[in-house]
A and B are shown apart, each in its own frame.
Chain A
Amino acid sequence: DAGVTQSPTHLIKTRGQQVTLRCSPKSGHDTVSWYQQALGQGPQFIFQYYEEEERQRGNFPDRFSGHQFPNYSSELNVNALLLGDSALYLCASSTYGTGESPLHFGNGTRLTVT
């Protein structure tokens, strides 16, 4: 049973560039959430996708955008990269709707912006 998989594992970009990160949810899950984890900090919620639509969004600028595909996989896009965007980006999957559906996290993509 494959868990949440993310690619790439590491990425180095230059300020001003654009980046796309990818996530495949755990089998049976239909919802994908993205989190940003700065060094030494807790993860911060970016946004959540269900049925190919953004359902909730955290306090992140429009430079952060996403997409969910019919197979439930998801992409996170960040435009006009800033040095402060350097972080571990975590994807989490779950099942949408009522009831307790804990988040299952991938191991993240480490983004370094130089």
Chain B
Amino acid sequence: QQQVKQSPQSLIVQKGGISIINCAYENTAFDYFPWYQQFPGKGPALLIAIRPDVSEKKEGRFTISFNKSAKQFSLHIMDSQPGDSATYFCAAGSGGYQKVTFGTGTKLQVIP
């Protein structure tokens, strides 16, 4: 049972462009929605996170948009750079955020 669905599976964006990754969840008990970035050979690293009481959160070039009624959230990477090339995972958690359910990942490639 896939509780967090993520799309697209892969994404190619030109340098300076906007990268957009979408996720949808089913379990309304989720109350914490982090995004993780993973480089090859490394573990996932927290990028940005949001709680459902806000509709948007921005940190630098990274923005999460959250639609509670649609049970959807997305990551926007503005002015995408080649160094942003990595796999991005959306995730959802509840109950103190200790157990997190991950999406299937989006492999982002930013070309010069």
- Does B associate with A? yes
Q: Number of A residues contacting the other chain (C-beta, 8 Å)?
A: 29
B 78-112 contacts with A by CB, 8 A: 89, 91, 96-105
Q: How many CB-defined contacts (below 8 Å) exist between A and B?
A: 63
The minimal Cβ–Cβ distance linking A64 to chain B, given in whole angstroms, is: 15
Known A42-B89, A42-B104, A100-B32: A105·B44 in contact at CB below 8 Å: yes
Q: Which DSSP category, helix, strand, loop or mixed, fits chain B's interface?
A: strand
A18 to B24, CA, bound (A): 37
The minimal Cβ–Cβ distance linking A112 to chain B, given in whole angstroms, is: 15
A42 near B49 with CB under 8 A, answer: no
B 48-88 contacts with A by CB, 8 A: 49, 51
Q: Number of B residues contacting the other chain (C-beta, 8 Å)?
A: 25
Q: Which of B's residues lie within 8 Å of A, judged by CB?
A: 4, 6, 32, 34, 36, 41-46, 49, 51, 89, 91, 96-105
Known: A41-B105, A42-B89, A102-B97. 12 other contacts (CB 8 A): A42-B4, A42-B102, A42-B105, A43-B89, A55-B98, A90-B44, A96-B96, A100-B32, A100-B49, A103-B46, A103-B100, A107-B43
